[in-house]
Amino acid sequence: MVHSDHAEHTDHPKRSRSVTRDRLLDAAGEVFAERGVAGASVEEVCERAGYTRGAFYSNFATKDELVVALLDREEGLLLERLSTALGASLSEPAPLTAIAGRLFDLQPFGAQNYALRAELSLLAVRDPELAAPYLAAQRACRERFVPFLLEGLAQAGLALTVAPDDALDTLDSLFETSLRSAIIAGDANSRNNLVARMLPVLLGAMTRPLADAD
């Protein structure tokens, strides 16, 4: 019992710090999407999160460090949603079409999320010092997702006919174009979007029956 109480006592600061860090990241995502990274201040992030500057600097040394942490988290969330969509679609009669629907239901690319991801990618273009962390976060996400993608397609009796990175770059461009067009048109939640129409086509063009892959 003493050990349990001690563990609970020592774990509490860790949990509190984790909650603080998550709330700061949530707030940063909102503020960056609204104002851009360059236009947002540490004070605005703290105010949105309901914390002081002291709480911020106990978790992040600089705003750039916050940006890198946000990049890592966004890629992790994207990986989780993509994996969920893929895993839930493989048993469907038409898995390629089902994947498109599942991704829409999970909404990994909502308007605010799109604005945030666009801002982070632009920041990597403008600031060479943040380009490397941006690419590292993207690479880490892909390294975890590609095996899951290949295994999932294999379970559906399919194999890629192109390099996994080329397939993911193509699909990423499709999602970005589709969502940007839908947001500008004022209907980001429309099911009649480019992804719904073209994802099955592109996946079909980049895969073939596993029996023919040898």
Residues 103 and 18 in one domain: no
> Residue 7 pLDDT > 60, yes or no?
no
Residues 108 and 158 in one domain: yes
Q: How confident is the model at residue 110 (pLDDT cuts 50, 70, 90)?
A: low
Domain C-terminal end among 29, 60, 91 = 60
Q: What digits encode the pLDDT tens for the residues 41-52?
A: 999 999 999 999
Nearest to 116 by CA among 40, 20, 192, 195: 40
Residues 149 and 193 in one domain: yes
Residues 6+ apart with CB under 8 A from 54: none
Residues 88 and 193 in one domain: yes
Q: What digits encode the pLDDT tens for the residues 113-172?
A: 788 888 888 888 998 888 998 898 888 888 888 887 888 788 778 899 999 999 989 988
Domain that holds residue 180: 63-212
Q: How confident is the model at residue 2 (pLDDT cuts 50, 70, 90)?
A: very low
Of 9-18, 24-33, 119-128, give the range with the top mean pLDDT.
24-33
Residues 153 and 183 in one domain: yes
